[in-house]
Copies of this chain bind each other. A is one copy, B any other.
């Protein structure tokens, strides 16, 4: 099925589950929707922190239709599930956001690590959490993002145990994908970036580490959501974890 066909199925609410594994050669995106008043600072935060917050597309104010990443799509309907927050509190997890949409909202589509995991797998670098059918382990680090207005806080990273003889290859492959987090931000010593217990991630599942694996850390798209949440915005909509927006952009086309 093409991304367009999958989005249609989602729009008709025939698919309401996570999107992992759907149209695997196409980029999926995280969604953050904020009122116009917060959009400038959030866009600036992304500009200042491109590794955790690589923007694929910012939709026009009040317009739910992407122009760059997916033609004919509508982000009010085309994700399987959403989260709606008022004053930082979760108030709804609807299948569409028609009733919440208004002309003052701005939608941000943010690159997702699915794309570079696809590239790693294509080029023979194993990805342990995929092999084991788990969620990727994610950690809050001691690395502070560059603040922008009220948006400030630590970077969240995802970890992928990588065979020691493929670590350099993993760096080179992912460096070609700056729009989906790019090269790693740390290799080898979790304690140096403030991670005390590698087996106790802050989000996701504990890592599966095989003999000879070295821990490699990438900036994670959970960062902007976590930081937006912390500011308790008057109103915010995100995708529900794992329920992403499937674009028409091939992962391969995101490469430098």
Contact = CB atoms under 8 A, between A and B. Distances in A.
A39 interface: yes
Contacts of A55: 47
Interface string A192-220: 00000000000000000000000000000
Chain A interface residue bracket vs B: 10 to 19
A25 interface: no
Interface in A11-55: 39-40, 43-44, 46-48, 55
A225 interface: no
Contacts of A183: 256
Nearest to A256: B175
B47 A43 contact: yes
Assembly stoichiometry (copies): 2
B58 A47 contact: yes
Interface string A132-155: 000000000000001001000000
Interface string A40-79: 1001101110000001001010000001100000000000
A178 interface: yes
Contacts of A60: 149
Nearest to A108: B47
Contact of A43 (B40, B146, B178, B256): B40
A58 B147 CA distance: 12
A48 B109 CA distance: 12
A98 to B, nearest CB: 25
Contact of A47 (B47, B67, B149): B47
Interface of A: 39-40, 43-44, 46-48, 55, 58, 60, 67-68, 146, 149, 175, 178, 182-183, 256
Given A39-B40, A40-B40, A67-B146, 18 more contacts: A40-B43, A43-B43, A43-B44, A43-B47, A44-B58, A46-B47, A47-B47, A47-B55, A47-B58, A48-B58, A48-B68, A60-B149, A68-B146, A175-B256, A178-B178, A178-B256, A182-B256, A183-B256
